[in-house]
Amino acid sequence: MAAFDFVRFGKVAEFLRPAHRGDPAHEQLSALRLLNNLLDAGGLTWADLISLAERSGTAEEAIRLLLVENDELRGRLAEAESRQPDWEPLATPVGKHRQTIDWLLGQYRAGRVWLSPWELEHFPDIARWVGRLTDNQRNRLQKTVERVYQQTGLRPPS
């Protein structure tokens, strides 16, 4: 079955419009025959063509509704992004890393949280660190605090 040539079909169908009513009847009959041949070549019937047109209208309406919904959602997203967050990020205050690590190790000893072998080995060393933590130390501690919060809902002391 060949692909249906909608463009050619539309051009031939123009000969059936009122502007061409003055044309001899045999020309309009020829146009109808050509339209039937185009339908046959495309493996379609007149009923199929009408069904396609109806579905096209439904699809266009669905697209319009989706575009309206998309605009609404974009507006709601922009509004949500402009508001302050409902939560405060879990941050380890500068200079309080010892207290946070002691709290984490206490939670581990109490059996409330799991700490990795790396955390168990390095957190005591980090707790003794003097001064500001390195980015790597701070990030590792922050990820652990967030993981513990997600698992237990517990926050480190501030």
Tens-of-pLDDT digits for all 158 residues of the chain?
567 788 888 888 887 776 656 667 778 788 889 989 988 888 888 888 888 777 777 777 777 777 888 888 888 888 877 775 555 555 555 458 888 899 999 999 999 888 999 999 999 998 888 888 888 988 899 889 888 888 888 888 77
Q: What is residue 116's predicted lDDT score, i.e. its pLDDT?
A: 92
**pLDDT value for 56:** 74
Q: What is the pLDDT of residue 21?
A: 61
pLDDT value of residue 53? 75
Domain positions in the chain are 1-44, 49-83, 97-152
Q: Report the sign of the C-alpha dihedral through residues 13, 19, 25, 27, in that order.
A: negative
Q: What is the pTM of this model?
A: 0.42
DSSP 94: T
| pLDDT for res 158 | 72
Rounded Cα–Cα distance for residues 35 and 37 (Å)? 5
pLDDT at 117: 92
Give per-residue burial for 33-49: e unless 16+ CB within 10 Å, then b: eebeebbeebebeeeeb
Listed in sequence order, the DSSP H helices in the chain are 6-13, 25-41, 46-82, 97-109, 117-127, 135-152
**In whole angstroms, what separates CA 126 from the centre of its chain?**
40
CA–centroid distance for 64 within its chain: 19
Q: End-to-end alpha-carbon separation of the chain, Å?
A: 74
- The Cα 26–Cα 133 span in angstroms is 92
